[in-house]
Structure formats: structure tokens, C-alpha cells
Amino acid sequence: MMGHGYSVFDTGIGRCGIVWSDAGVVGVQLPEAREIETRRRLFQRYPQAREMRPPLNVEIAIEGIAALLRGQPGDLADIALDMDGIPAFSRRVYEFTRTISWGETRTCGEIAAALKASGASHSVAQAIGKNPFMLIVPCHRVLATDGAADKISANGGSISKRRLLSIEGTLSPGSKTLFDVLLPVAPPRPQT
């Protein structure tokens, strides 16, 4: 295959997209509100990609992603990634992030220290914020240095990060849940 292929597939939270090359997965798109918006986002990020049947490595990734979004651990550790064009430091961050197990989290500071780049937590946050490999590189498991789940997020925003952590049963203390964000409590009515 020359170039990039893509596929859109069903999950427990909507239609996701995945893009690949001969070298591996190039990117994952979490669902937008409507499938057409997911496809539009894929086209904006990967205009050269053509819709086609995924190869075995990508089918395995799709199954793992769908399992994760159903609330089941999915094994994505052996999925090949095409990191062409990804800066060296970001590659190191993504490789480390792939070792964070289901139900666990790390802060940017902890990752920087593990990479022997203490003081580079801002650089870790920047890499996480640009992660094109959503779920395969589980950036939702990486929290801000203060442990908050709502300060740094890759494509999809902080609600997606909170939702993914909720699916895994892992929210940091003090983080807002989806209910806090989507269903704010109305102000109390005045007593008459």
C-alpha cells in the first residue's frame, strides 16, 4: 500500500476513526458528535488517507480500542505505530505512556522524572497534548502535575479525558466527573 488508509468503526461511545500506513497506525480519532464530523476531522488531519479495509495490525487495534471503550482492558501494547515526523522527546513520552496500565495514572512530572528529564513536565504535557495515537498511547492516563484530569488533553478535550478515566474507574481526587461538567447544579431557589 502506498500512502495512508483509514477506517471508521463503532465503539461504545460512538464512531471512532483510525489512520495507518505500511509502518503502522498513524493516528486515532475519538468520536465527534456526529460521524460526519469524525470523518471531517480525519480528512483535515490526514487529507491523503483513503478509506479501505484495515490490515490485521489495525484490526487488532480496532478491537482493542472498542474493548477499552466498553470498559474492558484492551491490549494495545504490540500495535505498531508510524512515528515518522514525531519529535524524539515526544516518542520517548509516548513509549513510556504506553507502559501505564489500565486503571493507573501518572503525572507529567512523574513521566519527566522517569525519562530522566526532571523539570521537563511542561514538555511532557505538550507531547501529551499532541498525541495522535489516542488510546493506543493512553494519554488520558497522564494527569497534570497537580493530578488534575482537566488541564491537559489531546484531541477530544478534557471531557473525553474524564470520560475515559471514568470508563476505567480511575479519576483523580478532586477532578470533576462528567456529571459535574455536563449537569451543573442549578442555583438554589429563593425561599418565599
| Calpha distance 26→133 (Å, rounded) | 7
| Calpha distance 133→1 (Å, rounded) | 21
Burial of 16 (0-12, 13-18, 19+ CB in 10 A): buried
DSSP per residue, 1-50: --S-EEEEEEETTEEEEEEEETTEEEEEE---SSHHHHHHHHHHH-TT-E
Has 139 been annotated as catalytic? Answer: yes
Given 135, 137, 139, 154, the catalytic residue: 139
Strand partners, 11: 14
Q: Which residues belong to the active site?
A: 139
